[in-house]
Structure 1
Amino acid sequence: MWLLRENARTDGSPTEENEVEQSERRDFRTASPGSDRAAGRWIDPGGRALVIVGVMLVLVLTAVLPWIGGASGWQVIAGQADPVLEVGLLPRLFSINATVAGVLLGALTLATRRWPVAWITAMACSVVTVEGVIAIWSRQTVPPGQPGGPSFGLVLAVVAMAVLAVQWLRIVWSRP
């Protein structure tokens, strides 16, 4: 308030500097509520981003490991696994959804850093983790003597999806 009195002219009319300061204050007051709301739309993954990128890399590398019998992950995704293995729908569905949710949505979320996209990624990774557990279970119920049980590549992919789901959920829940 003393600044306003100091800058006022002796005749009582405001100076040009005083008018500029008052207009800047009005602009700040009108911009503040919107900026608080806009700040809530962004996420800052911090050190978790490195963990997420590392797990995404592990998820991509599981594509070369055996998933079902001798069929690797990329063969399951492409549908080129040996017909004798009878891969079925669940492992194929998990492999496609893990690629979309774990790798593509994760990369999109890290690039945009938007909270709604992070929320979608967290929910998608959680659902795909459950799909992966069901895919492992479906391969464990193969009749005895028939090839095609779950291999360590499929198990590692499910563990990677679970870690991604936990990391994204922690980021989404940490929103102020």
Structure 2
Amino acid sequence: MSEEEYLRKEIDAVEQQAARRIDPGTGALTISIAVLALLVSLVLPWVGETTGLSVVLGESTSFVPRLFSYFAFGVGVIGSGIALAVRRWGMAWVCTLGLFAGSVTGVLSIWSQQTTTSNKTIGPGPGVGLIIAVIAVIVLLVKWVRIAASRPPQL
């Protein structure tokens, strides 16, 4: 193998490796602030007087807010942290898809706390922590969609 062929293969390998990486740029700051908002929402009430930490731990709450808490903290906090650390396109798409599911279940969890299936009084209502968490998940979703969709086409 000639030196020119060797250099061409090495350049191609570096190019392929660079094509798999993301550069969140200033979006990383927004992602970090939204993750911080998710963590702060843990100490605030989510369902009635039940705090976000109690919901994450599965203590006395309905299924939908608990499912949202798993998406929010599993994908929103842990997934975003891993994606920012490894900077891979695949992880950016995992965060995008997981946060989409999380945003849908978040809106459903707010709605489920405002309505009931009978003529009884309305449920305990969404707490401020749940509302902050849903907004933070939606902000994370928008940022990860922009980052994941910004990949240039492969040549």
TM-score by length of 2: 0.89
User: Which residue in the other structure is 1:174 paired with?
Assistant: 150
Identical aligned pairs, as a percentage? 41
The answer on 1:127 being equivalent to 2:101 is: yes
| 1:1-176 equivalent positions in 2, closer than 5 A | 23-81=2-60, 87-142=61-116, 145=121, 147-176=123-152
Report which structure shows greater RCO (CA 8 Å, sep ≥6).
2
Does the CA-based 8 Å contact 2:115-2:122 persist in structure 1? Answer: no
Per-residue CA deviation, residues 108-157 of structure 1 (Å, 9 max, x unaligned), is 11111111111111111111011101111111113653551111211110
User: How many equivalent residue pairs?
Assistant: 150
Does the CA-based 8 Å contact 2:41-2:133 persist in structure 1? Answer: yes
Counterparts of 1:127 and 1:96, CA distance in 2: 11
Deviation, 1:94, is 0.6
Q: Which runs of 5+ in 1 are unaligned?
A: 1-21, 82-86
Q: Which runs of 5+ in 2 are unaligned?
A: none
Aligned to 1:148, what secondary structure does the other structure show?
A: coil
Aligned Cα root-mean-square deviation (Å): 1.7
Aligned to 1:67, what secondary structure does the other structure show?
A: strand
Aligned to 1:149, what secondary structure does the other structure show?
A: coil
Counterparts of 1:156 and 1:131, CA distance in 2: 14
Deviation, 1:40, is 1.1
1:33 maps to amino acid: D
Aligned to 2:42, what secondary structure does the other structure show?
A: helix
Aligned to 1:134, what secondary structure does the other structure show?
A: helix
- When structure 1 is superposed on structure 2, of 156-165 and 139-148 the one drifting more is 139-148
TM-score by length of 1: 0.79
Deviation, 1:35, is 2.5
Per-residue CA deviation, residues 62-116 of structure 1 (Å, 9 max, x unaligned), is 01111111111111111234xxxxx210001111221101001111111111111
Counterparts of 2:3 and 2:105, CA distance in 1: 55
2:142 maps to amino acid: V
Q: Give the ranges of 4+ consecutive aligned residues of structure 1 lying more than 4 Å apart after TM superposition.
A: none
- When structure 1 is superposed on structure 2, of 129-138 and 29-38 the one drifting more is 29-38
